[in-house]
Amino acid sequence: MPANPEVDVEEMEFLIRQGFGELLSQNWWMIVPLFIFYFLGGYFLYASLFAAVGSAMGDDLGEGQSLTIPITIPVVLAFYIMFVSIQSPHSSLSVWSSIFPLFSPIVMPARLAFAPPLWQIFLSMALLAATSIFFVWLSGRIYRVGILLYGKKVTLRELGRWMFYRD
């Protein structure tokens, strides 16, 4: 749209009223609590993953960077998918990524303004809660073994063994 130095006041008033009307038509009583739930669920999910990596790494910063890359990639992908979801909130990519627990804390809050079906919201919430609880439990197991073996260079394969370590 080319820039027009002469702005039509009536058209601008119409656009402002339309924008405020759109804001007021949103169901804020549902969006705000769900946003808080997804924020906390995503926080616990990713905090437990980073805690597991932090407990497993030694003094070498390069080692820590190589272990955090697999955790950071889903976050970056989720942000790209979120921008696509804003453009087409009911596409297959948007729906499935808002249900997938590693993407849902970022993608689903963006879709909430477009009123997704309740079954998608509840399924996404249940999967996010279950995955967060599982990752907190898993990071506790990794922490228990990682603290005992502090200073040892750790690989992803070694982390996998620590998850199922028996006393």
pLDDT at res. 12:
75
pLDDT digits (tens, 9 = 90+) for 43-58: 999 999 988 888 777 6
Mind listing the pLDDT tens digit for each residue in 58-84? Answer: 666 666 677 788 889 999 999 999 999
What are phi and psi for residue 127, nearest 5 degrees?
Answer: -65, -40
Interval 124-158: pLDDT, tens: 999 999 999 999 998 888 777 766 666 666 666 77
The pair of three-digit structure tokens given for residue 68, joined into one six-digit string: 């955090």
Q: What percent of the chain has pLDDT over 70?
A: 74
Whether residue 7 is predicted with pLDDT greater than 70 in this model: the reply is no
83, 71, 80: which is closest to 42 by C-alpha? 71
String of DSSP letters for 90-106 = TSHHHHHHHHSTTTHHH
Q: Which of the four pLDDT bands, split at 50, 70 and 90, describes residue 5?
A: low
For the chain, the average pLDDT equals: 82
CB 94 within 8 A of CB 107: yes
Report the alpha-carbon distance of residue 45 to residue 61 in Å, rounded: 23
